[in-house]
């Protein structure tokens, strides 16, 4: 009986086929494992039904540390040329993107989908809780979510502890004690600017000055440390990080500030209950969810700069109708404006978030990720505090729905101003470099010394040029800086999630579904796929 064979290239002794290998064997495939990390020879041509390339702690072009990667890339390219199915896990997926020309258009669109569900479900769940129970349950209801999240993290996230030969990072306790209270004091001071004294009162000035002092002390402390600072403030020297963080700060003001104003307007001016207000806000969340695919597509096509300019401009334009609201404004008009605003807000987050990592060194990516997330959250806190103060000042003497609507209009004008200020700043975002074809300089250098690799392909075969490719969170490593891959493969460590890419005659696709789902689909594709055609005697074919 014919048993289809699968070639497995293992790049790290700790990153074996794991569960995936068991599933493939159960589905009737015979696995031939090549320990590439141990010097095993990688064939020039694929004589198997399909190819599986596993993970490892390397970048796809890091030939200095992993000299076998040049031959692995040549084998992947040859498999693509013959139409054999190729499955890449982590590093293997990056190698596939490296050869096929992966891009970043789906990166932020995929990983920000969970955050898009918040504006959809949050107001509805909050309104339902207030409708059925006491307001204190708004806090209690978070406990089961935290418990489930912690359990999922423990079950699914790979063990990414540093290797024994690497120094363990220490928590920056001094930075933690300076930065966190400093930002808390700043936000608290802004929220106290009420009454006739405004910002001149002691209850405003004392926390503001204290907060500025603590934040300034943290900056001075962080600049004295070469490594290990709680936040690497030196990254602000990069225009990409500085501009993206500023835009995310303003975007946080617009998003979270409006999420405070809109329910209050619907309840205080229009007389809706908490559940009704939450239901009316669904269009904004749906728009934000739809923006994930649109923004990712156009960010890859025209770059983050153009997408960000259009996104912030549309956010400002879609907020203007709320500056003219009355107690009788059409619900259809409000929901249409919320839908457009949601699409624009989603794009306004994706574009700067993706641009923040352009041209950074690989070891700088984690710190840049911290900066972008922190600035967005701080912007949200500042937005809520400032707009709450503005709303209090503008509605303090309002006792009729019409007067309340005018006060809310003033607060919405402030939101428009914050958003409009971001439009010219979008021009500071770096342009997204075009993905480049894989540079096989290392392979050419090896060929100059040892002769050409048997069966090596042209640098960009027609099948590779015509293949359809997308980017997934593990990164392609080509054209754009991406996070350095983990030293362990999620499958090897028992995780059910990770980067995976599949290539077949239908094209090359990178996806981010759970590995339990993706691997089953890949197993069936490999089992049912036709054996690759026998390579011609001469290469490349005429």
CATH number, residue 446: 3.40.50
- Shared domain for 450 and 389, answered yes or no, is no
Distance from chain centroid for Cα 34: 33
In the prediction, which pLDDT does 521 show?
44
28 three-class SS: coil
Work out the end-to-end distance of the chain between its first and last CA atoms, rounded to an integer number of angstroms: 35
Residue-by-residue pLDDT tens, the chain, 542 positions: 556 788 899 988 877 877 777 877 877 778 888 898 888 888 888 888 888 898 887 777 777 778 888 889 889 888 888 878 888 888 888 788 778 765 544 555 566 666 666 666 777 888 888 888 888 998 898 899 899 999 998 887 766 666 565 566 678 899 999 999 999 999 888 888 765 556 777 888 899 999 999 999 999 999 988 778 888 899 998 888 999 999 999 988 888 888 889 989 998 888 888 888 888 888 988 888 888 777 777 777 788 888 899 999 999 999 999 999 888 888 899 999 999 998 998 888 888 887 887 777 767 888 888 898 889 889 988 888 889 888 988 887 777 888 899 999 999 999 999 999 999 999 988 775 544 444 444 444 444 433 333 333 333 333 333 333 332 333 333 333 233 333 333 333 333 334 444 444 334 333 333 333 344 444 444 444 443 333 333 333 33
- Shared domain for 392 and 523, answered yes or no, is no
DSSP structure string for 65-101: T-TTHHHHHHHHHHHHHHT--EEEETHHHHHHHHHHT
Q: How far is CA 476 from CA 57, 219, 520, in A?
A: 14, 33, 23
| Residue 384 parent element (H or E) | helix 365-395
- Shared domain for 293 and 381, answered yes or no, is yes
User: Is residue 357 in some structural domain?
Assistant: yes
- Shared domain for 204 and 272, answered yes or no, is no
Q: Angle at Cα 291 formed by Cα 290 and Cα 295, nearest 5°?
A: 140
Q: Which residues fall within 8 angstroms of residue 395, CB to CB, at 6 or more apart?
A: 403, 404, 407, 408
Q: Report the C-alpha gap between 459 and 478 in whole angstroms.
A: 14
- Residue 165 backbone dihedrals phi, psi, to 5 degrees: -85, 5
Report, in this order, helix, strand and coil percent for the chain, each rounded to 5: 60, 5, 35
Q: Cβ(59)–Cβ(94) under 8 Å? A: yes
The residues facing 7 across adjacent strands are 32, 51
User: Is residue 12 in some structural domain?
Assistant: yes
Task: Tell me which residue of 167, 165, 180 sits closest to 227, measured CA to CA.
Answer: 167
What is the CATH number for 332?
1.20.1250.20
Q: Report the C-alpha gap between 427 and 417 in whole angstroms.
A: 17
> DSSP code of 269?
I
Q: Cβ(106)–Cβ(296) under 8 Å? A: yes
- Shared domain for 212 and 262, answered yes or no, is no
DSSP structure string for 112-151: THHHHHHHHHHHHHHHHHHHHS-TTHHHHTHHHHHHHHHH
Q: Looking at the chain, how many residues does it have?
A: 542
7 three-class SS: strand
User: Is residue 536 in some structural domain?
Assistant: no
- Shared domain for 418 and 502, answered yes or no, is no
- Shared domain for 368 and 460, answered yes or no, is no
Question: What are the CB-based long-range contacts (under 8 Å, 24+) for 62-69?
Answer: 63/442, 63/443, 66/11, 66/37, 67/446, 68/11, 68/36, 68/37, 68/39, 68/42, 69/11, 69/95, 69/442
User: Is residue 163 in some structural domain?
Assistant: no
User: Is residue 465 in some structural domain?
Assistant: yes
Sign of the CA dihedral running 453, 459, 465, 469: positive
410 three-class SS: helix
Q: Report the C-alpha gap between 193 and 271 in whole angstroms.
A: 28
Q: Cβ(93)–Cβ(100) under 8 Å? A: no
- Shared domain for 375 and 467, answered yes or no, is no
Q: How far is CA 430 from CA 53, 225, 244, 302, in A?
A: 34, 28, 9, 12
10 three-class SS: strand
Strands 500-504 and 507-511: antiparallel
- Shared domain for 317 and 243, answered yes or no, is yes
pLDDT in tens, 317-344: 999 999 998 888 888 999 999 999 989 9
Centre a 10 Å sphere on the Cβ of residue 525 and count the other Cβ atoms it contains.
Answer: 15
In the prediction, which pLDDT does 511 show?
36
The residues facing 504 across adjacent strands are 507
Of the three residues 400, 428, 456, the one that is the final residue of a domain is: 428
Of the three residues 202, 229, 256, the one that is the final residue of a domain is: 229
In the prediction, which pLDDT does 19 show?
74
Q: How far is CA 422 from CA 90, 250, 430, in A?
A: 36, 7, 15
Q: How many domains in the chain?
A: 3
Task: Tell me which residue of 514, 408, 501 sits closest to 95, measured CA to CA.
Answer: 501
Strands 86-89 and 5-10: unpaired
Centre a 10 Å sphere on the Cβ of residue 217 and count the other Cβ atoms it contains.
Answer: 16
User: Is residue 58 in some structural domain?
Assistant: yes
Task: Tell me which residue of 497, 500, 503, 510 sits closest to 525, measured CA to CA.
Answer: 503
User: Is residue 542 in some structural domain?
Assistant: no
Token digits of residue 319: 């907020």
50 three-class SS: strand
Q: Report the C-alpha gap between 348 and 314 in whole angstroms.
A: 9
- Shared domain for 23 and 140, answered yes or no, is no
Q: Which residues fall within 8 angstroms of residue 82, CB to CB, at 6 or more apart?
A: 46, 532, 533, 535
- The verdict on pTM exceeding 0.85 is no
Range of the domain at 213: 173-229
pLDDT in tens, 269-278: 888 888 888 8
- Residue 7 backbone dihedrals phi, psi, to 5 degrees: -90, 125
User: Is residue 205 in some structural domain?
Assistant: yes
Of the three residues 428, 446, 462, the one that is the final residue of a domain is: 428
Token digits of residue 224: 């004295």
Q: Report the C-alpha gap between 295 and 304 in whole angstroms.
A: 9
- Shared domain for 424 and 449, answered yes or no, is no
- Shared domain for 341 and 410, answered yes or no, is yes
Q: Cβ(271)–Cβ(280) under 8 Å? A: no
Q: Which residues fall within 8 angstroms of residue 436, CB to CB, at 6 or more apart?
A: 478, 479
């Amino acid at each position: 009986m014919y048993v289809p064979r699968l070639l497995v290239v293992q790049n790290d002794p700790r990153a074996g086929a794991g569960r995936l290998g068991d599933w493939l064997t159960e589905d009737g495939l015979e696995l031939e494992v090549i320990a590439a990390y141990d010097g095993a020879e990688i064939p020039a041509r694929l004589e198997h039904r399909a190819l599986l390339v596993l993970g490892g702690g390397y970048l796809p072009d890091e030939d200095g540390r992993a000299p076998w990667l040049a031959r692995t890339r040549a084998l992947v390219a040859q498999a693509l040329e013959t139409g054999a199915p190729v499955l890449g896990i982590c590093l293997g997926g990056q190698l596939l993107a490296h050869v096929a020309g992966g891009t970043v258009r789906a990166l932020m669109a995929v990983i920000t989908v969970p955050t898009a569900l918040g504006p959809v479900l949050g107001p509805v769940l909050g309104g339902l809780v207030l409708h059925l129970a006491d307001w204190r349950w708004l806090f209690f209801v978070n406990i089961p979510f935290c418990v489930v999240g912690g359990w999922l993290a423990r079950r699914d996230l790979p063990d990414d502890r540093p290797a024994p030969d690497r120094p363990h990072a220490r928590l920056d306790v001094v930075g933690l004690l300076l930065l966190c209270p400093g930002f808390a004091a700043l936000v608290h001071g802004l929220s106290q600017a009420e009454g006739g004294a405004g910002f001149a009162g002691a209850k405003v000035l004392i926390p503001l000055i204290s907060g500025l002092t603590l934040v300034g002390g943290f900056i001075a402390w962080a600049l004295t440390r070469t490594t290990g600072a709680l936040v690497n403030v030196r990254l602000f020297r990069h225009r990409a990080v500085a501009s993206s963080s500023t835009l995310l700060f303003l975007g946080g003001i617009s998003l979270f500030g409006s999420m405070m104003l809109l329910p209050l307007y619907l309840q205080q001016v229009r007389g809706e209950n908490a559940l009704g207000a939450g239901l009316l806000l669904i269009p904004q969340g749906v728009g934000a969810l739809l923006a994930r695919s649109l923004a990712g597509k156009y960010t890859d096509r025209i770059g983050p700069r153009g997408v960000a300019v259009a996104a912030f401009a549309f956010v400002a334009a879609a907020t203007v109708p709320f500056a003219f609201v009355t107690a009788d404004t059409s619900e259809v008009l409000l929901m249409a404006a919320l839908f457009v605003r949601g699409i624009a807000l989603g794009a306004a987050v994706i574009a700067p978030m993706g641009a923040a990592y352009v041209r950074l060194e690989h070891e700088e990516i984690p710190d840049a990720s911290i900066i972008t997330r922190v600035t967005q959250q701080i912007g949200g806190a500042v937005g809520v505090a400032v707009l709450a103060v503005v709303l209090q000042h503008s509605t303090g003497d309002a006792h009729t729905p019409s007067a309340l609507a005018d006060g809310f209009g003033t607060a919405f004008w402030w939101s428009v101003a914050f958003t409009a200020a971001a439009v010219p700043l979008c021009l500071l975002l770096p342009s997204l470099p075009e993905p480049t074809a894989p540079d096989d300089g290392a392979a050419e250098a090896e060929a100059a010394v040892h002769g050409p690799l048997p069966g090596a392909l042209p640098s960009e075969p027609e099948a590779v040029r015509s293949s359809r490719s997308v980017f997934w969170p593990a990164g392609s490593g080509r054209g754009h800086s991406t996070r350095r891959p983990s030293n362990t493969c999620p499958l090897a460590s028992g995780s059910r999630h990770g980067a995976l890419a599949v290539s077949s005659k239908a094209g090359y696709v990178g996806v981010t579904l759970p590995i339990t789902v993706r691997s089953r689909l890949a197993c069936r594709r490999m089992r049912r796929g036709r054996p690759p055609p026998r390579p011609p005697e001469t290469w490349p074919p005429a």
